[in-house]
Chain A
Amino acid sequence: MNDLTPTREQRTAALEGLGCKRKRVEDIRFTQGKGNYVDDVKLPGMLHGDFVRSPHAHARVKSINSEEALKVPGVLAVITAETLKTVNLAWMPTLAGDVQMVLADGKVLFQNQEVAFVVATDRYAADDGVNKVVVEYEPLQPLVDPFKSMAPDAPVLREDLAGKTTGAHGPRKHHNHIFEWTVGDKDLTDAAFRKAEVTIKEMISYHRTHPSPLETCQCVCSFDKIKGELTIWGTFQAPHVIRTVVSLIAKLPEQKIHVISPDIGGGFGNKVGAYPGYICAAVASIVTGKPVKWVEDRIENLTATSFARDYHMTTEIAATKDGKVTGLRVHVLADHGAFDACADPSKWPAGFFNIVTGSYDFPTAHLAVDGVYTNKAPGGVAYRCSFRVTEAAYCIERAMDILAQKLGMDPAELRLKNFIKPEQFPYHSALGWEYDSGDYHTAMRKMMETTGYAALRKEQAEKRAAFKRGETREVMGLGVSFFTEIVGAGPSKNCDILGIAMFDSCEIRMHPTGAGIARMGTKSQGQGHETTWAQIIATEIGIPADNIQVEEGNTDTAPYGLGTYGSRSTPVAGAAIAMAARKIKAKAQMIAAYKLEVHEDDLEWDIDGFRVKGLPEKFMSMKDICWAAYNSVPPGMEPGLEAVSYYDPPNMTYPFGAYLCVMDIDVDTGVYKVRRFYALDDCGTRINPMIIEGQVHGGLTEAFAIAMGQEIRYDDTGNVVTGSFMDFFMPTAVETPHWETDFTVTPSPHHPIGAKGVGESPNVGGVPAFSNAVNDAFAFLGATHIQMPHDYWRNWKAAKTLGAVA
């Protein structure tokens, strides 16, 4: 070995593989304004579409008059439900088994519902046309409060469902009822409550909010009449699913549809579903023979394309008086708005809300969810979380604090007492899940030691005493949260979307020079897949990550996959990538054996190539094997070096974490200050620590926004009162706290590289940490549960209700 021979460490480092803080490939173009987002797509002759929307929450549409609109210079067409009926597209199926109006058909059911689609030569002319369409409405009684939706005299919202006593998920109890979903053993749970020494019961609401990525939903549809082909550029988190849905509802052959998700400016669940804008732009392109662009504005985004949460969770815990939980009973009233357009796997009307037992060893539990219609926008997307998991985590983490308060126990101590123990994994929960791995006690203790939890509690006790003596007007809260997520949907045995199993995929093609291209069924919206996917391949096959081009989002070239949401990319596609790479490596081993003139079994893998066991000088690098794959493969072997993997995961993955929020609140103004926020995440094997940390920062910031003020609020008549960034809380750098991150590593036993996914954990764990901090701050004044969001005004109101403010 001479001085120029790289060491093993140098060879490993050169790969920039797993565990490396590799700088992002994407940033070169994004920092120079050279990203390619949907609104950047410009085609010759392209037209623009814009919507006429309903000012009413509930009204009958008496007439639509387009005459004056069609006289506006540049306006070419006005599409209404009547137009869409000629192609059988006035209604579209939703992912949740319901149907949804594409354009108002006889009625409008929420404010800003799409009524007509104006197509014009540019976006200004389209807007002029929108202003000239005359719609005559007959206002009807709006239904806004979900708790009144199933009253006997509640207005009938969905006339199309008249007489239908069964929906996609079983019997309907009322004309505004969508489904009832129950899980768990009711009798056993009721018995646990009858025998309980201590019980708590609280109605815990998780308000309606919105993912609101900085880039809104948009598309460009271009129909080629000669070829009969439709190309759609769109902000799609799941391009293949969109292609299949378009094929099914537009009756176009799937090979004639090309769906392209270019760069996406954030998704957070907003860009999973199919929206009327996509259908209208496609129909408009078919009708006019020209490409049609539809770009939603921010108000439209906040008020019409999906929402998140709106779960009202009546939660009960049974326990012994020394703090061992014995039963959990939860009833959820789920407000789905005017149509059930939840983006959940098809068989899961309430997503994976049955993860609500959290990190605790509940011997029994029972859950019932009632979904109802109201005059609000449809949706129910997983805003930076796996399906309804953040609602579940908030529910159990708030309830555990309420129980601790009742028992007079420290919330951290109560959690430690009830955690699932390391030796119980794989753990079967009372509501049907099999948790793959975890070490909750270690994570919790590390959080407590790092933050000086005991000292903080002591300080809090002193401050409370000082407050009572009238020496301060500030109250201090410690928000403990310990969450378990369920991500990586998912195994075909329980997850599908419209009948398609929720696998994911990867195809790798190695080129003769030792470079390659890899394509996946996922689609990054900021997660940095072009960077991290290459790192997995680099470690698996010993080719530098810089030599692997990653490509996603084009349904013509990428293998079929179910897309990126619910933290499924790493658990599912990440596994497919490792498996495809291992197929490459297996063929490479045969080629190396042939070239080195030994038996395959005599070779061992060594960082970036194969070495003959016991003969270290006989070595063939992966780079050289790539070359050989194209000119001298063993007799009988096909040339080339490519592999495809479709990965159906055997189980979900269960990331977890321990968070602490330290908050001070001035009772006279309600103004809070997040003094400290510590987040320990365990996402199993860590692919790129820099990107993980970035994901945690971002998720915590969204959690902070949701818990402390971000809300889609309606007034009594169904008007959205938080429909722009003026009213919808969007934290800036000034409000956003400083984040401290930490980790433990408990690999997933069933994932090829042990990774679990992380992007959504901080939102799931963050919201209860903030809310628990506020509730903990006011607990000594007698508060049990204060509903979110905890903005200044509500904090002040809480203080006033508790008698702390005159």
Chain B
Amino acid sequence: MAKTHVTMKVNGAEVEGLVEPRTLLVHFIRESLGMTGTHIGCETTHCGACTVDIDGMSVKSCTMFAVQAQGSDITTVEGMANADGSLSALQEGFRMMHGLQCGFCTPGMIMRAHRLLKENPSPSEEEIRMGISGNICRCTGYQNIVRAIQYAAAKLNGIEFKEAAE
């Protein structure tokens, strides 16, 4: 099958590649660019493990062709740590609040939470739950993911994180 040349920005770096028109963006990211943090859990747009940030929106990269991302600005989980290599507020929140177990949904969850907090810097629990409802986690039961995002929101807003009483 004839291949098409694509260029895009991924985690701040210009990248290019030859792809078939049918190549999914997630396969381009994982296999051509070798960034395997973005995962595949369902291929039907339900689980959100493949979520990346494209031009300021959360996108499930299993449901977009690589050619559709031509010229776009993409952030994946590999681009989430602070410039000095330390964990970002969200990554730290997931660790501190035990918001992950097997880690397979985590990159997609973090990417979705990243955009959620840009859209709504101080979300309520209900808004967080609705905001991550396109991402499935099989391990945590979500409760600690909600706390992880609350932790990050507090840190980014410069306020002390207080856990809601049981």
Interface set of A (CB-CB < 8 Å, partner B): 23-24, 26-37, 39-40, 42, 73, 123-124, 212-216, 263-266, 268, 297-298, 525-528, 690-691, 693-695, 697-698, 700-702, 724-726, 730, 732-734, 736, 738-740
Contact = CB atoms under 8 A, between A and B. Distances in A.
Q: How large is the interface on B (under 10, 10 to 19, 20 to 34, 35 or more residues)?
A: 35 or more
A286 B134 CA distance: 41
Contacts of B139: 266, 526, 694, 698
B44 A725 contact: yes
Interface of B: 1, 20, 22-23, 27, 30-31, 34-44, 46-47, 49, 76-78, 80-81, 87, 91, 94-96, 98, 100-107, 110, 128-130, 132-146, 166
Given A28-B87, A33-B36, A725-B46, A266 B102 contact: yes
Nearest to B107: A33
B141 A34 contact: no
B40 A39 contact: yes
A247 B36 CA distance: 31
B102 A739 contact: no
A40 to B, nearest CB: 4
Contact of B103 (A73, A265, A690, A739): A265
Contacts of B140: 694, 697-698, 701
A74 to B, nearest CB: 10
Contacts of A297: 43
Nearest to B105: A214
Nearest to B76: A33
Contacts of A730: 46-47, 136, 138
B76 A725 contact: no
B98 A24 contact: yes
A452 B94 CA distance: 33
27 contacts: A23-B98, A27-B103, A28-B95, A29-B103, A31-B91, A31-B94, A31-B110, A32-B77, A33-B37, A33-B80, A37-B104, A39-B36, A73-B1, A214-B104, A265-B41, A266-B102, A268-B138, A693-B98, A700-B141, A701-B141, A724-B42, A725-B42, A725-B136, A726-B46, A733-B133, A733-B135, A736-B141
A73 B1 CA distance: 9
B144 A215 contact: no
B138 A266 contact: yes
Q: Which of B23, B87, B130, B143 has the most CB of A within 10 A?
A: B143
B39 A734 contact: no
A304 to B, nearest CB: 15
A212 B103 contact: no
Given A298-B41, A525-B102, A694-B140, 9 more contacts: A31-B106, A34-B78, A35-B37, A214-B138, A215-B102, A697-B140, A697-B143, A698-B138, A736-B141
Contacts of A24: 95, 98, 100
A674 to B, nearest CB: 12
A753 B28 CA distance: 49
B101 A528 contact: yes
Contacts of B20: 124
B47 to A, nearest CB: 6
Contact of A734 (B38, B105, B130): B130
A702 B37 contact: no
Contacts of B144: 694, 697
Contacts of A268: 138
A331 B81 CA distance: 56
A694 B76 CA distance: 26
B97 to A, nearest CB: 9
A40 B80 CA distance: 19
B31 A42 contact: yes
A35 B36 CA distance: 8
A150 to B, nearest CB: 36
